[in-house]
């Protein structure tokens, strides 16, 4: 079910549990590890996308828009959630997809999105890079008519405002945490969490993990660093203060959208130990990063909350690839059980 806005934190506390997890790699570690299960928000409008789309959809409806347009790759969880939310809200939807060689039948994700009634526009990489330029927006309007633009990932101030409720969820738990960790794509969810905890005493340090490499998180110059700082700066202009955050990357892990056999086995073990299925693009790599921090005693004896940002539909992109044939049996079986009925 798509959310209403403003989000009801009291209701969310009863629906989205914080689960203590004890994967085998904690061993003798004194770290107490917990996970906020945003993957349980909704079967289709998943995880942090549920929060980021909430205010965007309400704002579009309030302005009288009947059609929304957004952007994503061939296996974009944002596009799946965006299409599902629009269908449920009774709004028309258009998705601009990166890859002119693709079609609605190219993979299970695109087929499902098409089945939800979304109009798909496939563009080459150069056109996609220029997606927000006026000539491109004019072209899209010539194809589908007037629309309300939702940025890629739902990453605008409306999306950040929706994600603030995640920070409030963190601060309204019975357990006080020393650190909060989440994976980052555009930085909007991280900024929302930082803004959401800003009104509380004893707020934890927020850590964002990037799969885009060290250059994306360089202090002052990394594009992800700049994105988060811009979201927070705009929030301050609205009278909101913000706490500190740290961004991290790990060059030893595969880059964005890439998945190794080692990571798949890591995900299978985590599923076996905790019962939690991690998504392949974000949370799987976040937990691999957390594992290394724990093994290197970077977190000592502290309480750490990891945010599962949902996005399980991302596994659909690996069922058609050669790597899918080498998935551990339990992982593959769980993915098929959870996703192929969509």
Q: How far is CA 211 from CA 151, 208, 247, in A?
A: 20, 10, 11
Residues 26 and 54 occupy one common structural domain = no
- Cβ-in-10-Å burial (0-12, 13-18, 19+) of 30 comes to exposed
- Cβ-in-10-Å burial (0-12, 13-18, 19+) of 342 comes to middle
| Contact partners, residue 294, CB within 8 Å, separation at least 6 | 25, 26, 29, 31, 33
Q: How far is CA 66 from CA 29, 144, 284, in A?
A: 53, 12, 36
**Structural contact between residues 74 and 320, judged by C-beta atoms closer than 8 angstroms:** no
Position 4 scores a pLDDT of 79
Strand 119-123 vs strand 148-149: parallel, antiparallel, or unpaired?
unpaired
| Contact partners, residue 99, CB within 8 Å, separation at least 6 | 73, 74, 106, 122, 123, 124, 125
Position 297 scores a pLDDT of 82
Residues 119 and 252 occupy one common structural domain = no
Last residue of one domain, picked from the residues 154, 184, 203: 154
CATH of the domain at 98: 3.40.50.1100
Residues 34 and 173 occupy one common structural domain = yes
Instruction: Quote the domain boundaries for residue 118.
Output: 48-154
Sheet-wide strand order for 92-98: 119-123, 92-98, 67-72, 148-149
Structural domains in the chain (count): 2
Residues 32 and 69 occupy one common structural domain = no
Whole-model pTM above 0.75? Answer: yes
Residues 17 and 133 occupy one common structural domain = no
Position 236 scores a pLDDT of 66
- Cβ-in-10-Å burial (0-12, 13-18, 19+) of 201 comes to exposed
Residues 102 and 247 occupy one common structural domain = no
Position 54 scores a pLDDT of 93
Position 108 scores a pLDDT of 85
The values of phi and psi at residue 325, to 5°, are: -70, -20
Residues 255 and 314 occupy one common structural domain = yes
99 domain-assigned:
yes
Q: How far is CA 179 from CA 28, 92, 133, 212, 220, in A?
A: 19, 40, 39, 22, 22
| Contact partners, residue 26, CB within 8 Å, separation at least 6 | 33, 294
Token pair, residue 303, equals 């309480």
Beta bridge partners of 92: 67
55 domain-assigned:
yes
Query: Which of 76, 81, 84, 198 is flagged as catalytic?
Result: 76
Residues 176 and 268 occupy one common structural domain = yes
- The DSSP annotation for 60-118 comes to HHHTT--EEEEEE-TT-HHHHHHHHHHHHHT-EEEEEEE-TT--TTSSHHHHHHHHTT-
330 domain-assigned:
yes
14 is catalytic: no
Residues 31 and 117 occupy one common structural domain = no
Last residue of one domain, picked from the residues 126, 154, 182: 154
pLDDT, block means (10 residues), the chain with 342 residues: 83 94 91 96 90 95 97 92 95 97 91 95 97 97 98 95 96 95 96 93 94 93 95 70 81 90 95 96 96 88 95 82 69 86 56
- The DSSP annotation for 265-316 comes to HHHHHHHHHHS-PPPTTTHHHHHHHHHHHHHTTSSTT-EEEEEE---GGGGG
2 domain-assigned:
no
- 3-class secondary-structure state, position 213: coil
125 domain-assigned:
yes
Last residue of one domain, picked from the residues 105, 138, 154: 154
Residues 94 and 208 occupy one common structural domain = no
Give the span between the Cα atoms of 43 and 77, in whole angstroms: 12
3 domain-assigned:
no
Residues 101 and 194 occupy one common structural domain = no
Residues 167 and 259 occupy one common structural domain = yes
């Amino acid at each position: 079910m798509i959310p209403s806005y403003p989000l009801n934190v009291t209701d969310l506390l009863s629906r989205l549990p914080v689960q203590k997890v004890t994967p085998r790699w904690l061993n003798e570690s004194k770290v107490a590890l917990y996970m906020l299960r945003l993957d349980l928000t909704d079967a289709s409008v998943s995880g942090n996308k549920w929060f980021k789309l909430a205010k965007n959809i309400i704002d579009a409806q309030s302005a009288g828009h009947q059609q929304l347009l957004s952007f994503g790759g061939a296996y974009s969880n944002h596009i799946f959630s965006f299409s599902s939310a629009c269908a449920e809200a009774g709004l028309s939807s258009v998705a601009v997809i990166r890859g002119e060689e693709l079609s609605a039948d190219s993979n299970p994700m695109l087929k499902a999105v098409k089945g939800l009634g979304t109009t798909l526009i496939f563009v080459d990489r150069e056109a996609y890079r220029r997606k927000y330029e006026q000539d491109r927006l004019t072209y899209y309007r010539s194809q589908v008519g007037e629309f309300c633009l939702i940025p890629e990932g739902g990453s605008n101030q409306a999306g950040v405002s929706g994600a603030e409720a995640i920070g409030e969820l963190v601060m309204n738990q019975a357990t006080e945490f020393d650190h909060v960790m989440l994976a980052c794509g555009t930085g909007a969810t991280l900024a929302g969490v930082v803004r959401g905890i800003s009104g509380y005493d004893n707020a934890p340090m927020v850590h964002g993990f990037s799969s885009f490499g060290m250059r994306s998180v360089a202090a002052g110059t990394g594009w992800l660093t700049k994105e988060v700082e811009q979201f927070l700066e705009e929030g301050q202009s609205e009278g909101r203060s913000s706490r500190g955050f740290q961004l991290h990357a790990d060059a030893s892990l595969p880059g964005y959208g890439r998945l190794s056999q080692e990571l798949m086995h890591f995900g299978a073990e985590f599923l076996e130990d905790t019962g939690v299925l991690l998504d392949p693009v974000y949370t799987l790599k976040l937990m691999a990063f957390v594992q290394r921090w724990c093994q290197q005693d970077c977190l000592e004896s502290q309480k750490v909350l990891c945010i599962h940002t949902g996005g399980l539909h991302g596994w659909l992109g690996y069922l058609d690839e050669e790597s899918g044939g080498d998935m551990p049996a339990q992982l593959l079986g769980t993915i098929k059980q959870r996703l192929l009925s969509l």
